[in-house]
Structure 1
């Protein structure tokens, strides 16, 4: 198993003073303009270190997070691309911790996971194949491998994203945000193929436009992602729909039950 004993407390102390202020509201016009180098981030998150595997998936009317897992393949939430045209879907890659130029890649193919259900979010995963390789000496892009086994309960998990950094309105962050979880916080009663997690930090949560973002296991004693463990899907809680866009109970689709399907799909396409 992936182990990380005692690391949870270290992480909690190290991030306790790293809250960020809300940024400017993103207009509906900007939200649909893929030429924006930054889009909208995690609520009450912390400034993330560089995560060069993180990408933004742009469609004609929205955007989501995603993860590079291969030189031609990105994994995201199926809901993000469901019903959208492939020729108007683009991948934006680069270092989202900096105000630097980003690269865009056209999408050649979209494949939904077996058993995906838009109503229940079951198997909320899609694979996107790009027309051109995302690997180059100049790009600096990195791929995040899929986890091969379950981490132990004490393992620290992280998720990064560029979704809304406010639970009340859509705000634009200046850089990539990150939220941290204890694997042991997975709620009892959560569907078998999903993880229902609550952050270390009170109020921290994925939010609107974070769907599709990666959930990764952190290396022991440091803040380096080790492998892709899940994909951000949605959130649940009593405050959703009562003036809040999101909730602190964050739901992720597990990678492990779909790992063989992902490998076989990439191999066949």
Structure 2
């Protein structure tokens, strides 16, 4: 379980499991030079709730694809990989620059080999 309300020098940790809903985006980020496309190996996301993000100790967490129109989990879609911090003047806020997941589908063959599924 990762941190909540991350502020430089003051990290508070969740006492129970926290879930977040993200939407996939094909833009990794925006800079003064333009937009950067999300790499093929990643799932780049935007949070459904303002301020939601991966943060300290969230790496390795699952990202599920939900069945359309429900909150029922359909399949494992990504694994929490990293987050970014955007430095802002007069702010000590952290974990505010995006949440990025490794695409599970790129490792499907390896996963099937490891768990020895016979399809």
| TM-score normalized by the length of structure 1 | 0.36
Q: Which residue of 1 aligns with 2:106?
A: 257
Separation in 1, partners of 2:68, 2:96 = 28
Equivalent in the alignment of 2:13: 172
- The equivalent residue for 1:186 is 26
Q: Is the 8 A contact 1:179 1:204 kept in 2?
A: yes
SS at 1:209 equivalent: coil
Output one character per residue of 1:86-113: Cα deviation in whole Å (capped at 9) or x when no partner: xxxxxxxxxxxxxxxxxxxxxxxxxxxx
In structure 2, the residue matched to 1:195 is: 43
Structure number, greater radius of gyration = 1
Displacement of 1:237: 4.4
Q: 1:228: how far off? A: 0.2
**Pairing 1:223-262 to 2, within 5 Å after superposition:** 223-239=71-87, 243-262=92-111
Residue number in structure 2 paired with 1:97: none
Alpha-carbon separation, structure 1, partners of 2:107 and 2:114: 10
2-side partners of 1:225 and 1:190: how far apart? Answer: 24
Off by >6 Å, runs of 4+ in structure 1: none
Gaps of 5+ in 1: 1-161
- Long gaps (5+) in structure 2: 28-35
RMSD: 2.2
How far is 1:261 from its partner? 1.0
> Contact conserved, 2:85 with 2:94, CA < 8 A, in 1?
no
1:34-69 CA-to-partner distances (Å, cap 9, x unmatched) read: xxxxxxxxxxxxxxxxxxxxxxxxxxxxxxxxxxxx
Give the 3 Å change call, closer, same or farther, for CA 237–216 of structure 1 in structure 2: same
Q: Return the alpha-carbon distance in structure 1 between the equivalents of residues 21 and 97 of structure 2.
A: 12
Q: SS at 2:63's partner residue?
A: strand
Q: Distance in 1 between matches of 2:26 and 2:21?
A: 13
**Count of aligned residue pairs for this structure pair:** 105
SS of corresponding position for 2:53: coil
